[in-house]
């Protein structure tokens, strides 16, 4: 029972050391854990909300993709893609928009901050506020709910967006009467370093205090390290490691033993100039091999493009059937599905006729449903711990005569395999269960003839 971990990176900037330590490194690390299916994507639709400079968006997508691959993301194992390569995401975003209360969006921090600034300036409260900014949390909910993510690692500033994603998912599930969406959980990495920047404040592009990760090469790295602010203690004087940003930075990239040795040198009076040189050399040793891969990738954008397109194809294998189910749920259905001609056509077009769909329930168990061509639920299975068991039963049900498999029962009817009811009429199914049983038998029979 794998856990789906999903996160997105807005493509507006160039990755710096703080992004690496705070987000990229822990995410890549998490993706190697057993039992984890990781989904990492470039949130390039989100980039358009903040940035109307096409060159910058384009460059940032390239740099961020190259960075993740260069630091060791295994694209065979992780589903790594661009948001804008998945047309199902904006499509889902619209379905979600239609169930999202405007009042919920009014409370979003990012939007409220813009309004507050406008009010303080004495201009129109919505000055410069686009619908993109206003609806930002809905698009983010679509990113997450599309793939039924269980865990979403993000920074603290995103906690509210995750709460909104859960709200929106619950609203949709409630309105359309079924648990279409898994409720995602936020994960905040408590012990991951928030790196100080050159001036000691949090390293952030908006403070203009960042240390570049790869761009500019060793020279830019060294030049930045030399600009880190220190106190005025002279060489020979004991330094207080704990209050030094230099030490905090060093520690984020060193083993305990290395940090202890560095700390001792500071306490024994190492000059700040030497300390900076030591930090630079330590970082350079760590980053140089990754940087080489990075520039190699940047020089071969076609390779990155291929990797991202393969990732998108994998992601869409999940997104397309999910979206199909959601379209049916809201009533965007094939008009012809109920007619004889439609049924014949439906058989030819995979996914348009009766079908089994498997899903994970809220407790992480695996279940499946039998749906009629028009999307009506005809059977709901028991829950299984092992998805293979559920899969084997779906095949088994199709391989046996529908009339003997589906039998009337106290709950209406049930699908029997070796004397065990493996699936039953969904609760709250139509009162006329005999007609319903006939429909279920028809649907199952149509599958076994295929």
Neighbour tally for 62: CB within 10 Å:
16
Classify each residue of 217-256 as buried b or exposed e, where b means 16 or more C-beta atoms within 10 Å of its C-beta.
eeeebbebbeebeeeeeeeeeebebeebbbbbbbbbbbee
How far is residue 233's CA from residue 444's CA, in Å, rounded to a whole number? 81
How far is residue 204's CA from residue 15's CA, in Å, rounded to a whole number? 10
Residue 124 or 207 having the CB closest to ligand TRP: 207
Q: How far is the CB of 154 from ligand TRP (least distance, A)?
A: 5
Q: How far is the CB of 89 from ligand TRP (least distance, A)?
A: 9
The stretch near ligand TRP (CB under 6 A) out of 3-11, 53-61, 89-97, 169-177 is 3-11
Q: How far is the CB of 107 from ligand TRP (least distance, A)?
A: 16
- Contacts to ligand TRP from residues 146-205, by CB under 6 A: 152, 154, 158
- Contacts to ligand TRP from residues 35-74, by CB under 6 A: 43, 46
Three-state SS at 1: coil
Residue 108 or 371 having the CB closest to ligand TRP: 108
How far is residue 80's CA from residue 177's CA, in Å, rounded to a whole number? 32
DSSP 323-372: HHHHHHHHT---TTTTSHHHHHHHHHSTTTSSEEEEEE-TTS-EEEEEE-
Strands 406-409 and 355-360, bridge-based pairing: unpaired
- Residue from the set 143, 179, 325, 328 that interacts with ligand TRP by CB under 6 A: 143
Q: How far is the CB of 150 from ligand TRP (least distance, A)?
A: 12
Q: Do residues 411 and 440 lie in contact, with contact meaning Cβ atoms separated by under 8 Å? A: no
398 binds ligand TRP per the rule CB under 6 A: no
Residue 26 or 375 having the CB closest to ligand TRP: 26
Residue 109 or 201 having the CB closest to ligand TRP: 109
Residue 140 or 397 having the CB closest to ligand TRP: 140
Residue 164 or 254 having the CB closest to ligand TRP: 164
- Residue from the set 4, 7, 92, 164 that interacts with ligand TRP by CB under 6 A: 7
| Phi-psi sector, 57: left (phi>0), alpha (psi -120 to 50), beta | alpha
The stretch near ligand TRP (CB under 6 A) out of 2-10, 30-38, 350-358, 432-440 is 2-10
The stretch near ligand TRP (CB under 6 A) out of 138-146, 302-310, 328-336, 385-393 is 138-146
Q: Do residues 373 and 354 lie in contact, with contact meaning Cβ atoms separated by under 8 Å? A: yes
How far is residue 29's CA from residue 4's CA, in Å, rounded to a whole number? 14
Residue 46 or 245 having the CB closest to ligand TRP: 46
Q: Which residues bind ligand TRP (CB under 6 A)?
A: 6-8, 10, 43, 46, 140, 143-144, 152, 154, 158
């Amino acid at each position: 029972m794998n856990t789906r971990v999903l996160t997105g990176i807005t493509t507006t900037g160039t990755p710096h050391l703080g992004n690496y330590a705070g987000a990229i490194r822990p995410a890549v690390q998490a993706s190697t854990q057993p039992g984890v299916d990781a989904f990492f994507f470039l949130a390039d639709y989100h980039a358009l909300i903040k940035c109307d400079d096409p060159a910058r968006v384009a460059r940032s997508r390239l740099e961020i993709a190259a960075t993740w691959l260069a630091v060791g993301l295994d694209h065979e194992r992780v589903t790594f893609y661009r948001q804008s390569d998945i047309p199902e995401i904006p499509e889902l975003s619209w379905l979600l928009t239609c169930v999202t209360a405007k009042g919920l969006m009014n409370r979003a921090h990012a939007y409220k901050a813009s309004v507050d600034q406008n009010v303080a300036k004495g201009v129109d409260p919505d000055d410069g506020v686009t619908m993109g900014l206003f609806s930002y949390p809905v698009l983010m909910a679509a990113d997450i709910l599309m793939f039924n993510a269980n865990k979403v690692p993000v920074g603290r500033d995103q906690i509210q967006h995750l709460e909104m994603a859960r709200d929106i998912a619950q609203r949709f599930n409630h309105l359309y009467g079924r648990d279409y969406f898994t409720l995602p959980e936020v994960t905040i990495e408590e012990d991951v370093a928030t790196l100080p920047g050159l001036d000691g404040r949090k390293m952030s592009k908006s403070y203009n205090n960042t240390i570049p990760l790869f761009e500019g090469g060793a020279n830019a790295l060294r030049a930045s390290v030399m600009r880190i602010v220190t106190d005025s203690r002279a060489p020979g004087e004991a330094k207080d490691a704990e209050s030094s940003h230099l030490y905090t930075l060093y520690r984020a990239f060193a083993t305990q033993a290395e940090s202890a040795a560095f700390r001792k040198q500071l306490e024994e009076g190492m000059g700040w100039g030497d300390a900076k040189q030591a930090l630079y050399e330590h970082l350079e040793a760590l980053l140089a091999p990754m940087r080489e891969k990075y520039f190699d990738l940047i020089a071969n954008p076609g390779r990155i493009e291929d990797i991202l397109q393969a990732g998108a194809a994998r992601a869409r294998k999940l997104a397309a059937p999910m979206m199909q189910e959601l379209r049916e749920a809201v009533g965007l259905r094939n008009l012809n599905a109920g007619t004889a001609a439609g049924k014949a056509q439906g058989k030819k077009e995979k996914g348009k006729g009766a079908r089994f769909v498997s899903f994970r329930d809220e407790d992480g168990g695996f279940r499946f449903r039998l749906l009629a061509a028009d999307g009506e639920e005809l059977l709901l299975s028991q829950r299984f711990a092992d998805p293979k068991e559920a899969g084997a039963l779906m095949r088994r049900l199709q391989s046996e005569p529908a009339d003997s498999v589906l039998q009337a029962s106290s709950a209406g009817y049930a699908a029997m395999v070796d004397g065990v009811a493996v699936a039953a009429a969904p609760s709250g199914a139509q009162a006329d269960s005999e007609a319903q049983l006939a429909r279920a038998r028809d649907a199952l029979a149509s599958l076994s003839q295929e």
